[in-house]
Amino acid sequence: MLSHITAARDAALASIASAATLDEVNDLTSRLTGKKGDLAQLKTRLGSLASIDDKKAAGQAINDAMAAVAAALESRRAALGSEALAARIERERLDLTEFVGAPKRGHAHLVTQAWERLEDTFVGMGFQIAEGPEVETDWHNFEALNMGDGHPARGEFDTLFVDHVPPGGVAGTTLLRTHTSPVQIRTMLTQEPPIYIVAPGRVFRRDTPDATHMPVFHQIEGLVVDRHITMADLAGTIEAFTKAFFGAGFTSRLRPSYFPFTEPSAEFDIQRPNGDWIELGGCGMVHPNVLRAGGLDPEEWSGFAFGFGIDRMAKERHGVDDIREMYSDDIRFAEQF
Ligand code: DAH
């Protein structure tokens, strides 16, 4: 009997030791410790032993063997459990330490940089920043700016109309603004003069991209409305801006020109220290019709306005040959600045 017990125990311990998975350990647990297990079967045969002492010894041996099997199952289960956990951790591990080279600090887009420097310069000169919507009405973008029906800038060649009919409105009168000048109208309609504002923003035209044009670009608009404003105030403001923004070595000039919303109108150029002139934008005295559209009496108020392209300034400043490069998202381009 005792040798059977030892044999059953050793067989049980051997199969436990060779169990490779938790499932196998669970199987063994029910097989070895259940009623049909070898040791349990031997227990039922204790009654057939002759002497009390033999029964006692065999009973003790069976209990010891069962305790040993239970302990072996428990430790095998624990060992396999921590192995499974370790394997799972290894399998699901993320290497968060990996990086290629030292991290690089980026910078704002060239146009954003120019936009922010322009705002800073004008704020330093006493202007406030104004805003208007990118989706505009025909009235704000053209009509109120003294560009009646038939003005070439209203044509389909330049303008991107939006498929939207305003409530109670007319189809084909909503568009992506073609310039920042409608902000002049919106400002006059919401703010009492004196008005000293600049309005930077995104504008849209039906242009094919080339080295100097993009269908989406940026402008900054200026508007001053006060009493007794003259062309001299305009020229002085442009000159002060040129020196503040480009440096003391730069100077500006006005050239006669035409815009429907200013009278008289001018282009303004700046002169580089090396003597080159570059055209920057348009300007002029706000047309009486525009003041009236803004709800102001031209007998009481006068003003000047100007507008120029931000992208072109960024391009000039950094010596970029092709404006499309600035929107290419090519890191090799961006890294140069
Ligand atoms: N809105 C004009 C354009 O997009 C630029 C401009 C010219 C703005 C003269 C002005 C101005 O305020 O007075 O071409």
Nearest CA to ligand 1 atom 12: 306
Contacts of residue 114, defined as CB under 8 A and 6 or more positions apart, other chains included, come to 310, 311, 313, 314, 317
Work out which ligand 1 atom sits closest to the CA atom of 179: 4
Q: Over the Cα atoms of the chain, what is R_g?
A: 43
Contacts 24+ apart (CB under 8 A), 59-63: 61/2, 61/5, 61/6, 62/5
Task: State if residue 306 touches ligand 1 by the CB under 6 angstroms criterion.
Answer: yes
Q: What is the pLDDT of residue 45?
A: 84
Which pLDDT value is given to residue 155? 67
Sequence-ordered alpha helix ranges (H) in 92-150:
110-124, 138-141
Atom 13 (ligand 1): residue with closest C-alpha? 283
Ligand 1 centroid distance, CA of 179 (Å): 7
Structure token pair of residue 89: 């951790």
How far does residue 170's CA lie from ligand 1's centre (Å)?
26
pLDDT for position 133:
97
Distances (CA, A) of 214 to 180, 189, 206, 210: 16, 31, 9, 7
Residue type, 192: E
Q: Which of 179, 216, 231 to mutate to test the pocket of ligand 1 (most atoms within 8 A of CB)?
A: 179
- For residue 283, how far is its CA from the centre of ligand 1 (angstroms)? 6
At residue 157, the pLDDT reads: 62
Whether residue 217 has its Cβ less than 6 Å from ligand 1: no
* Unique residue bearing structure tokens 């400043």: 317
Q: What token pair was written down for 104?
A: 């690089």
Angstrom CA distances, 21 to 81, 130, 271, stand at 9, 71, 83
Kindly tell me the sign of the dihedral angle through the C-alpha atoms of 322, 328, 332, 335: positive
Among 147, 176, 181, which is best to mutate for testing ligand 1, by the most ligand atoms less than 8 A from CB? 181
199-253 residue pLDDT tens: 999 999 998 999 988 999 999 999 999 999 999 999 999 999 999 998 999 999 9
pLDDT by residue for the chain (337 residues), tens only, comes to 888 888 888 888 888 988 888 888 888 888 888 888 888 888 888 888 888 888 888 888 888 888 888 888 888 888 888 888 898 898 888 878 777 788 888 899 999 999 999 999 999 999 999 999 999 999 999 999 999 887 776 765 688 999 988 788 888 889 999 999 999 999 999 999 999 999 999 999 998 999 988 999 999 999 999 999 999 999 999 999 999 998 999 999 999 999 999 999 999 999 988 899 989 999 999 999 999 999 999 999 999 999 999 998 898 888 899 999 999 888 899 888 8
122 lines ligand 1 (CB under 6 A): no
Cα(6)–Cα(66) distance, integer angstroms:
11
- The pTM (predicted TM-score) of the whole model is 0.70
> 193 with 296: CB under 8 angstroms?
yes
How far is ligand 1, taken at its centre, from the CA of residue 306, in Å? 6
| 181 CB near ligand 1 (under 6 Å) | yes
Q: Residue 58 is encoded by which pair of tokens?
A: 């065999």
Atom of ligand 1 nearest to the CA of 307: 8
* Residue 259 CB–ligand 1 contact under 6 Å: yes
Alpha carbons 251 and 97: distance in angstroms, whole number:
54
Degrees to nearest 5, angle at CA 240 with 239 and 246: 85
Contact 89, 158 (CB under 8 A): no
Q: What is the pLDDT of residue 93?
A: 87
Reading the block at residue 101, the tokens are 């080279």
The span from the CA of 333 to the CA of 325, in Å, is 7
Question: 305 in ligand 1 pocket by Cβ < 6 Å?
Answer: yes
* 131 token code pair: 């805003």
